[in-house]
Amino acid sequence: MDLRIAEIFLSIQGESSHAGRPCAFVRLTGCPMRCVWCDSEYTFTVGTRMSFDEISSKLNSFNCKLVEVTGGEPLAQKNVFPFITTLCDLGYEVLIETGGFVSTEKVDERAKIILDVKCPASGESKRNHWANLEQLNSEKDEVKFVIANLEDWEFAKEIIEKYDLQNRTKEILVSPVFGIENLAEIAETIAKSNLKVRLNLQLHKYIWGADVHGV
């Protein structure tokens, strides 16, 4: 079996509760969604087909046991599910960053899901697959809200309450769109919320810049 791969690289994990850890990234090609603030549009069409063995060989060369499967939307390629199982069988700690509109039901239970709930400013909030929130494992899975404004934050709070995410997830990540002008206001609002959430800044963009790929 194979996958269409946009890039494979070794870097520092820039987001989630794993931020700062060395991490190997397998970025898959393609995404049916078109979020307004998308920072990986280059993955929509560019890619090379690679067998599982070829991908595993590349990962092995990094000597890094933390691997993130991302995109694009990684779960849009049907072969990704057995690939995730293969990585788990090989002893990797596997993170899956998904846009949340594809069911996570077939993801190997050993993998750790980072589920992106689309807020209104993304332009894609109507495509959230809400059943995914009911399948989260509170011991390992995380939910991320990318917010562009305070309206998005209000939406996030509603979803956090409706789906009891403070008890259903390991972490709730609130990730302001990189470069927005009201970052301080959003941070102050989150601090006053009394919610069990984590402000999630994209560490890699502060280190290498927003337009650098493969980091």
Architecture of domain 2-208: Alpha-Beta Barrel (3.20)
Assess whether pLDDT exceeds 80 at residue 40. Answer: no
Instruction: Convert the pLDDT of each residue in 105-116 to its tens digit.
Output: 999 999 999 999
The structure's pTM equals: 0.92
Please state the domain extents for the chain.
Answer: 2-208
- DSSP letter for each residue of 15-39: SSTTTTSEEEEEEES--S---TT-S
- Between 24-33, 41-50, 163-172, the lowest mean confidence (pLDDT) is in 41-50
Q: Which two tokens stand for residue 72?
A: 């694009």
Looking at residue 143, its pLDDT comes to 98
CB burial class (10 A; 0-12, 13-18, 19+) of residue 77? buried
Alpha helices (H) along 32-132: 52-62, 80-89
Integer Cα distance of 85 and 103 in angstroms: 16
- Distances in Å between the Cα of 45 and the Cα atoms of 73, 147, 206 are 12, 26, 26
Integer Cα distance of 73 and 31 in angstroms: 5
Integer Cα distance of 15 and 173 in angstroms: 9
Assess whether pLDDT exceeds 90 at residue 64. Answer: yes
Arithmetic mean of pLDDT, 79-96:
98
